[in-house]
């Protein structure tokens, strides 16, 4: 069995700009989860997060298991992100540069639609969604 904590990130809207380092991590209940439910992932890098909106196969209220040690959009996946305006769930994918030149880009698909951005301007990835629990 493993102990996984339910967390929420709360932005400090009193400060501009809002870098990810200014997010307050609020810790809640700790859940006991069978190790077999973790898919071989290290429990110390996992947290639970309750989705705040419907997007990308996730419904508001779903409980998401996040791997906070995997902040890279390659391979593509669903992430909890901070775009300096708010916390959101989004599908993110690394897009290779055409002709192998340049730094590549990141495709972000979320509640506000899809957009492509540079690696430097992509949202902060707070954790990769590795499991979801919600109503059928």
For residue 7 the two structure tokens come to 């967390």
pTM of the entire predicted model = 0.82
Listing DSSP states for 79-129 in one string gives: EEEE-SS-EEEEEEEEEPPGGG-S--EEEEEETTEEEEEETTTSPEEEEEE
Please, which residues have CB within 8 angstroms of residue 44's CB and are 6 or more apart in sequence? none
pLDDT at 65: 92
For residue 73 the two structure tokens come to 């959009």
- Give whole-number Cα distances, 92 to 20, 35, 79, 88, 130, in Å: 17, 27, 7, 12, 14
Per-residue pLDDT of the chain (136 residues; tens, 9 = 90+): 999 999 887 776 655 554 555 567 788 888 898 888 888 889 999 999 998 887 778 888 899 999 988 778 889 999 988 877 778 889 999 988 777 676 788 899 887 788 888 887 888 888 999 988 887 6
Q: Residue ranges of the domains in the chain?
A: 2-133
pLDDT at 53: 81
Assign domain 2-133 to its CATH superfamily: Umud Fragment, subunit A (2.10.109.10)
pLDDT at 124: 85
**CA neighbor of 33 nearest in space, from 44, 20, 19:** 44
pLDDT at 16: 54
Q: Decide: 90 and 107 in contact? Cβ < 8 Å.
A: no
CA 93 to chain centre: 12
């Amino acid at each position: 069995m493993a102990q996984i904590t339910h967390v929420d990130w709360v932005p400090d809207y009193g400060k501009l700009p809002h870098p990810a380092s200014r997010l307050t991590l609020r810790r809640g209940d700790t859940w006991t989860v069978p190790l077999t439910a973790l898919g071989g992932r290290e429990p110390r890098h996992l947290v639970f997060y309750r989705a705040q909106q419907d997007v990308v196969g996730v419904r508001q209220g779903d409980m998401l298991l996040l791997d906070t040690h995997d902040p890279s959009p390659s391979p593509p996946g669903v992430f909890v992100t901070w775009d300096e305006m708010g916390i959101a769930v989004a599908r993110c994918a690394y897009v290779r540069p055409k002709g192998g030149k340049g730094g590549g880009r990141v495709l972000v698909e979320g509640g506000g639609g899809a957009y492509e951005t540079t690696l430097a301007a992509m949202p902060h990835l707070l954790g990769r969604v590795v499991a979801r629990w919600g109503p059928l």
